[in-house]
Structure 1
Amino acid sequence: MRELRDLDLSSPRNLTRRQRLLVIYAVGLVAVVLAYTFAYAYGMRTLEDRPRSVFRAFNFVIETMTTTGYGADSPWDTAVMNVTVAMMQVTGVFIGFVTLRVLVIPLFERTPLNLDDRLSIKNDHVVVAEYQRDTEVLLDELEQLDVDYVLVESDEEEAKRLSDDGYQAINGDPEDRADLDRATIERASLLITDAGHSTASVVLTALEANEDLRVLSFTASTRRKAALAEIGVDRSVAPHALIGRRLAEKATTPVTVDAASDGDHVAIREVLVRRGSPLHGVQVGDSPLAAHPDLTLVAGWFDGELRMVPDPRDRLTPNTVLVVAGPEQAIDELASEVSGVQTPRTSAHTEVIVAGYGEGGSAAVDALPDDVDVTTVDDSEASDPDVVGDVTEPETLAAAGIEDASALVVTVDDDATALLTVAMARSLSDGVEILARVTDAEKTFPAFRAGADYVLSVQRVCARLAAAEVHGERVMDPIGQIRLVRADAAPFAGQSLGEARRDTERGWTVVGISRAGTIHTDEQATIEVDDEVFVAGSDETIQEFERSVDTE
């Protein structure tokens, strides 16, 4: 019954194979009944000389095809009418069998339907050939972007469950060309595969069917990237290593920039929204940080994604980090007024502990600057960490220097261990900034409750990366160093500072005016020709700004 309720007749492409079959069946049945109705009415009038109204003829056809009786019209005198009635009887029996097979049996039998029948027409779509993480997180991300896809899942029960939940999933072996053909691989534009040791076989089979296919592969180790590129993978990602690098960048990204001028200055600070903050769920445009007349939002990290400048419609959640520019005193006063918002740090971390020295931990260490003092911790001597021990034990963290550390990067493989490590570290040090990796997206909020300041989920990051490959989004790009430059104000003359700030498409933003040795950050201030403006942005966007506007 669900299939009948979910029929979307606005476009044939929106219908699954089974829904198209139901539509064809319904249209065909109506056409046959109407044809017999008019044929019988015409025959009774012209051949039998016993005229019947269309409605009586319709009733006769229904009686005959359902085998409930023939009414008072029998017998018939002419051969044509006898043959016509006989054809109705045979057609009725045939339609009865078709109705049982198409409608009745599938509705009541316990055996599963052919999942292929639930697929809508595909063209220029994504084929997901196995996915070893939380599949629904990825598929939800694709559906939010209105991206057509087919998941080829080797586990029959899992494929059935996903299909029953409304996802475009079929059961099959992605190493089998015939199963990829069922997903119309020849018309696909992108293959996403997370098939472990079977990745090479899956990719080669898919490229044999569609040599123009782009391929995104998730892999357990960065050491496999060269081999995967050799067989035709356009982009391979080792999620644990990627997140390890991202956490390291987050821990050491310099976010404090001051532009002094006769005692006045403009500063850039990070403001981290903690769990329990009243800002949770508030749109950026409605937040006191955005509404403050002296402050400018330069950038924001949302679930690991950098946005320059944040969209006013973005909602603040725990894990959101806003980069705010303006007078330092105004930033600190506002942050202290809003409970649940972390006081911004004033410098990059110089003493960092990396807990878990596997693929992710090694990537984090490689990403840390040379001037950072790094201590690695792992429970296995094989990885040659600085401290060998259980990171959930206070003695191990104490030996690693947790009391003096400015940041702890948690990259252990097990989520339960990660949560306990976070809680233990927080109990030993209130000041350390804790950045953690979890596998399950649902463990993100428990990590915050345990005391983490910043959390990334492998499942969520992989889903966003896949969305980026399909949709062209920039996801997980490092912020680099945020820069603040002075520039001649002539191009902005006549605008208010608020007007100059509102163009968020440029990636850079005007945060203040220098006039006669005084810094003005009130958005009502009007920019004059002889002023100087302070412009903030990432390295890339500031370089673009400098190419178009003269700066000091």
Structure 2
Amino acid sequence: MSRIPWSSRTDDLSRRSRLIIYYVAGLAALVLLYTVLYNTGMRALEGRPQSIFRSFQTVTETMTTTGYGADSPWESPWMNLFMVFMQLSGIGVGFFTLRVIVIPLFTGAEVDLDSRLSRKSDHVVICEYDRDSAVLLEELEHLEIDYVLISSDEEEAIDLSDEGYSAIHGSPQETSAFERASIGNARAVITDAGEANVDTVLTVRSLRPDVEIITLTDDSSLRDVLLATGADSVLSPRAVLGERLARKAMSLYTSELHDTVGIAEGLEVTEISVSHGSPLEGVSIRNSRIRERTGANVAGAWIDGELQLPPDPDAVIGANTVLLVSGDHDALEELGETARPVRRRRREEGVVVAGLGEVGHAALSVVEEEADVPTTTVDVVDSPDVDVVGDVSSRETLREAGVEDAGVILVCVPDDSTALLTTVLARSLNPDIEILVRMSDAKATTKALRAGADYVLSVPRISARMVARELRGEEVLGAGSQIRIDRVSADPFAGKTLAESGISARTGCRVIAIEHEGELTTSLDPERTIAAGDRLVIVGSDESVQRFLTTFDVSPKPLEE
């Protein structure tokens, strides 16, 4: 078995971890040296030979100041001088231990976050990411992309560092912060500094003219300015979220299928929402006979806000159930038609856009461009694009906007509590309306589904997926999907059947295809034996896929490989 050099192992540790290791090793060496010298002195100078273990006890008592040696007094001047020196060095070691290890460990006082960083190379430097940093950092860790987050909020930086993320405190408008983040070895810089984006881009370019810069902004009008400043790509997550919500809504009026991911020729995966009035509503998955009727396979389902992989055959499909399905394009289109209500949305029923911020304006543009559907806009601030001025979480405002007769409402307000209340009120006013919701907190997605939303997208998840796609070219059911697809090595399961692998039970993921000698098989027999060299196509939530990768110690592969 090959051995990893000690220097390579310590290089992977943070500076603080290396300091602690060196300190413990040095302290052990010092105590050992003192023990040997003391044992020799007791025999040669004091004429009192004793065991090395007795000498070790005396040295330990002296250095820790719990005692000054049970062997006292000493007759030799040299032994007395040695004991005084050992006592003073013990006090020094104690102060050093308190200052460097004990105080930072238990109080966090004056924590040097830089010392916690491992050595970085080919990493990503992230500046002022304020869209739920943990979601993005977990996404990068899932993709095995190393990173350093620079935050001007010291408390946030400490909290993230304490949770195990690579974060430091500093201003991304100062070159020193980037130097501490090893900008010289970085592969890319991600900046989400709002109005300071331009300043940050210029600072980065002064240090690394060749590094890739990805800029996130909530103001799409600044795209040209940021590109001219030096950004290589500009992402507008809120605008993308609004566009995806609108396209999802427009699919209710047209037969077009959105956001499919091609796994191989003849195999695509997508999410399909079951609408109110659909023939599938109120039917169990077992009795829906989706495969027999359309040729599509149901890999999973979001039912009452919970992801089931695979879904319980007796689970009842509700009006806000989202099915995760695979199959060829025709099969998915046929299932999409089946999932729509028997009475197709009439264009005169129209769309209500609640909230005209960046998300709302992006959604409105898509609605106006892609379908001839009457649209009513609602916002608390009056502007030329606003039809109804008022609070969308008010029943009266929703009535004035025509929610009772509308076919779709896009809830695009930035406050999650307001969005949840608007969802509940809209459902109470019109049980048949399709409700598509934007959430600012990724954890609030389940709440929105339980409140009655038919489809939900969160800003943090959209942002993280867009960044991941820029860095790696990975497409996972579109940036806004709550489902991840990965192609992984099957070597950990070689010689086992699918049933014996325990993948679903241990991780919550589901295998939807197996690639064997270049051929992809989607009709999977639980008793099929997995061979070494095979690759599995798995689906699951972000958490379950991460659990799979960690449990079986495998790395994801881009779907196009």
CA 1:255–1:312 in 2, change beyond 3 Å: closer, same or farther? farther
Q: Which amino acid aligns with 1:139?
A: L
Match of 2:550 in 1: none
SS at match of 2:296: strand
Match of 1:462 in 2: 463
Report the aligned-residue RMSD: 4.7
SS at match of 1:455: strand
Work out the CA distance in 2 between the residues paired with 1:290 and 1:103: 63
Question: Residue 387 of structure 1: CA displacement?
Answer: 4.7
Question: Residue 401 of structure 1: CA displacement?
Answer: 4.5
Match of 1:354 in 2: 353
Match of 1:542 in 2: none
SS at match of 2:121: coil
Work out the CA distance in 1 between the residues paired with 2:373 and 2:160: 47
Deviation per residue, 1:247-275 (Å, 9 max, x gap): 11112235479xxxxxxxxxx99743699
CA contact (8 A) 2:64 2:90 kept: yes
Match of 1:425 in 2: 426
Match of 2:491 in 1: none
Question: Residue 47 of structure 1: CA displacement?
Answer: 7.6
Q: Does 1:364 pair with 2:386?
A: no
Q: Does 1:101 pair with 2:99?
A: yes
- Equivalent runs, 1:307-318 vs 2, <5 Å: none
SS at match of 1:378: strand
Question: Residue 392 of structure 1: CA displacement?
Answer: 4.3
Deviation per residue, 1:447-499 (Å, 9 max, x gap): 223322111111222122233334432156499xxxxxxxxxxxxxxxxxxxx
- Equivalent runs, 1:78-157 vs 2, <5 Å: 88-107=86-105, 111-157=109-155
CA 1:77–1:426 in 2, change beyond 3 Å: closer, same or farther? closer
Q: Which amino acid aligns with 1:428?
A: L
Work out the CA distance in 1 between the residues paired with 2:104 and 2:399: 63
Q: Which amino acid aligns with 2:90?
A: G
CA contact (8 A) 1:194 1:217 kept: yes
Work out the CA distance in 2 between the residues paired with 1:377 and 1:401: 10
Work out the CA distance in 1 between the residues paired with 2:97 and 2:215: 45
Match of 1:440 in 2: 441
- Equivalent runs, 1:225-240 vs 2, <5 Å: 225-240=223-238
Deviation per residue, 1:269-291 (Å, 9 max, x gap): 9743699xxx9xxxxxx988799
Match of 1:188 in 2: 186
Match of 2:559 in 1: none
Q: Could you tell which deviates more after superposition, 244-253 or 415-424?
A: 415-424
Gap regions ≥5 residues in structure 2: 1-6, 258-268, 481-511, 526-561
SS at match of 2:200: helix
Deviation per residue, 1:78-137 (Å, 9 max, x gap): 96x777666545533432332332334445667342233333333222222112332333
CA 1:288–1:462 in 2, change beyond 3 Å: closer, same or farther? farther
Q: Which amino acid aligns with 2:453?
A: A
Match of 2:35 in 1: 37
1:322 to 321, 324, 337: 324
Deviation per residue, 1:308-329 (Å, 9 max, x gap): xx9977999977343576889x
Deviation per residue, 1:202-260 (Å, 9 max, x gap): 22212323333322222121111111111222222222211111111112235479xxx
Q: Which amino acid aligns with 1:203?
A: V
SS at match of 1:373: coil
CA contact (8 A) 1:240 1:359 kept: yes
Q: Which amino acid aligns with 1:366?
A: S
Match of 1:218 in 2: 216
CA 1:396–1:70 in 2, change beyond 3 Å: closer, same or farther? closer
The structure with the largest alpha-carbon Rg is 1
Work out the CA distance in 2 between the residues paired with 1:443 and 1:208: 40
CA contact (8 A) 2:299 2:311 kept: no
CA 1:54–1:274 in 2, change beyond 3 Å: closer, same or farther? farther
CA 1:144–1:73 in 2, change beyond 3 Å: closer, same or farther? same
Work out the CA distance in 2 between the residues paired with 1:186 and 1:419: 45
Question: Residue 427 of structure 1: CA displacement?
Answer: 2.6
CA contact (8 A) 2:184 2:208 kept: yes
SS at match of 1:382: coil
Q: Which amino acid aligns with 1:437?
A: R
Q: Does 1:377 pair with 2:377?
A: yes
Work out the CA distance in 2 between the residues paired with 1:375 and 1:154: 42
Q: Could you tell which deviates more after superposition, 163-172 or 58-67?
A: 58-67
CA contact (8 A) 1:128 1:152 kept: yes
Work out the CA distance in 2 between the residues paired with 1:49 and 1:221: 84
CA 1:454–1:504 in 2, change beyond 3 Å: closer, same or farther? farther
Work out the CA distance in 2 between the residues paired with 1:248 and 1:300: 25
- Equivalent runs, 1:204-215 vs 2, <5 Å: 204-215=202-213
Work out the CA distance in 1 between the residues paired with 2:386 and 2:453: 23
Question: Residue 51 of structure 1: CA displacement?
Answer: 5.0
CA contact (8 A) 1:349 1:372 kept: no
Match of 2:161 in 1: 163
**Percentage identity across aligned positions?**
42
Q: Which amino acid aligns with 1:353?
A: V
CA contact (8 A) 1:256 1:346 kept: no
CA 1:205–1:290 in 2, change beyond 3 Å: closer, same or farther? farther
SS at match of 2:475: coil
CA contact (8 A) 2:299 2:310 kept: no
CA 1:85–1:95 in 2, change beyond 3 Å: closer, same or farther? same
CA contact (8 A) 1:290 1:297 kept: no
CA contact (8 A) 1:422 1:451 kept: yes
Work out the CA distance in 2 between the residues paired with 1:447 and 1:226: 35
Residue-pair matches, total: 450
Work out the CA distance in 2 between the residues paired with 1:509 and 1:347: 36
CA contact (8 A) 1:190 1:213 kept: yes
Q: Could you tell which deviates more after superposition, 223-232 or 55-64?
A: 55-64
Match of 1:173 in 2: 171
**TM-score normalised to the size of structure 2?**
0.66
CA contact (8 A) 2:299 2:309 kept: no
CA contact (8 A) 1:269 1:324 kept: yes
Gap regions ≥5 residues in structure 1: 1-8, 258-267, 280-285, 304-309, 336-341, 480-500, 512-520, 524-552
Q: Which amino acid aligns with 1:98?
A: F
Work out the CA distance in 2 between the residues paired with 1:361 and 1:354: 7
CA contact (8 A) 1:269 1:346 kept: no
Match of 2:411 in 1: 410
SS at match of 1:207: helix
